[in-house]
């Protein structure tokens, strides 16, 4: 494990766990604290591009219901 790090995303994006190729969608101003070196944050705007990007990368989104909500 690495040192604690703080990751931020403004707008729509994904918090990606490269260990198991999963991600969760985040929106607004999100701050994530982790010591896992396999975690990264990627901003993706507009929201409509999130699923296509994840599919192209082979990443499973764990909370896809956020894509159905109004912005």
How many whole angstroms separate alpha carbon 30 and alpha carbon 28? 6
Taking every pair of C-alpha atoms in the chain, what is the biggest distance, in angstroms?
37
Give pLDDT tens digits for 1-60: 567 888 777 889 999 999 999 999 998 877 778 888 899 989 898 899 999 999 999 999
Q: Which pair of tokens denotes residue 65?
A: 């219901």
How many whole angstroms separate alpha carbon 53 and alpha carbon 59? 9
pLDDT bucket at 64, cuts 50 / 70 / 90:
very high
How many whole angstroms separate alpha carbon 25 and alpha carbon 71? 13
Q: Which pair of tokens denotes residue 50?
A: 């999130």
């Amino acid at each position: 494990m690495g040192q604690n790090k703080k990751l931020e995303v403004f707008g729509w994006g994904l918090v990606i766990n490269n260990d198991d190729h999963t991600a969760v969608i985040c929106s607004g101003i999100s701050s994530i604290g982790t010591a896992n070196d396999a975690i990264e944050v990627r901003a993706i705007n507009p929201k409509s591009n999130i699923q296509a990007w994840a599919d192209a990368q082979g990443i499973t989104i764990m909370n896809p219901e956020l894509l159905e909500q109004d912005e």
